[in-house]
Homo-oligomer: A and B are copies of this chain.
Amino acid sequence: PWQRATYDFFLSKDLREELQKKSFAAQQMIPGNMLPQLERYHSLVPLDTNHRKSTTCFNYQSWLYKAKNSKNGRLYALRRLEGYRLTNEHAIQTVMKEWKRIKNACIVTVHEIFTSREFGDSSLIFAYDYHPLSKSLQELHFQQSSAGPRFKTGSISEETLWGYICQITTALKAIHSNNLAARCLELSKIIVDGKRIRLAACSILDVVQFESGAQKPLQELQQEDLVKFGKLMLSLATNQLPSHLNVQTALESLSSKYSQSLKEAIAWLINPSAVDDSKSIEHFIGGIAFQMTKFFDLALQESDDTKFHLSRELENGRLARILSKLHAINDHPCLLNWSETGDRYSLKLFRDYVFHQVDKDGKAYVSLGHMLTCINKLDAGIEELVPLTSPDNQSSLIISYRELKNMLERSFNELQKHSKTSGAP
Q: Which positions in A face B, CB cutoff 8 Å?
A: 1-2, 4-7, 9-11, 15-16, 19-20, 22-23, 27-29, 73, 103-106, 166-167, 169-170, 173-174, 196, 282, 285-290, 292-304, 306-307, 309-311, 313-317, 319-321, 323-328, 330-334, 351, 354-356, 358-359, 362-372, 375, 391, 412, 415-416, 418-425
Cβ-closest chain B residue relative to A285: B289
Q: Is the CB of B310 within 8 A of A6?
A: no
A interface, over-half SS: helix
Q: Is the CB of B306 within 8 A of A416?
A: no
Q: Is the CB of B368 within 8 A of A314?
A: no
Q: Is the CB of A104 within 8 A of B334?
A: no
Q: Is the CB of B424 within 8 A of A368?
A: yes
Q: Is the CB of A328 within 8 A of B313?
A: no
Q: Which residues of B contact A298 (CB under 8 A)?
A: 105
Q: Is the CB of A170 within 8 A of B296?
A: yes
Q: Which residues of B contact A294 (CB under 8 A)?
A: 173
Q: Is the CB of A22 within 8 A of B363?
A: no
Query: How many copies make up the complex?
Result: 2
Q: Which residues of B contact A320 (CB under 8 A)?
A: 316, 319-320, 323, 372, 375
Given contacts A27-B2, A297-B174, contact A314 B11 (CB under 8 A): yes
Given contacts A285-B293, A297-B174, contact A369 B306 (CB under 8 A): no
Q: Is the CB of A425 within 8 A of B106?
A: no
Cβ-closest chain B residue relative to A335: B364
Q: Looking at A23, A105, A174, A363, which has the most chain B CB atoms within 10 Å of its CB?
A: A105
Q: Is the CB of A366 within 8 A of B416?
A: yes
> Smallest distance from the beta carbon of A104 to chain B beta carbons, Å?
6
Q: Which residues of B contact A170 (CB under 8 A)?
A: 293, 296-297, 300
Q: Looking at A196, A300, A303, which has the most chain B CB atoms within 10 Å of its CB?
A: A300
Q: Is the CB of A421 within 8 A of B297?
A: no
Q: Is the CB of A6 within 8 A of B425?
A: yes
Q: Which residues of B contact A334 (CB under 8 A)?
A: 356, 358, 362-364
Q: Is the CB of B292 within 8 A of A106?
A: no
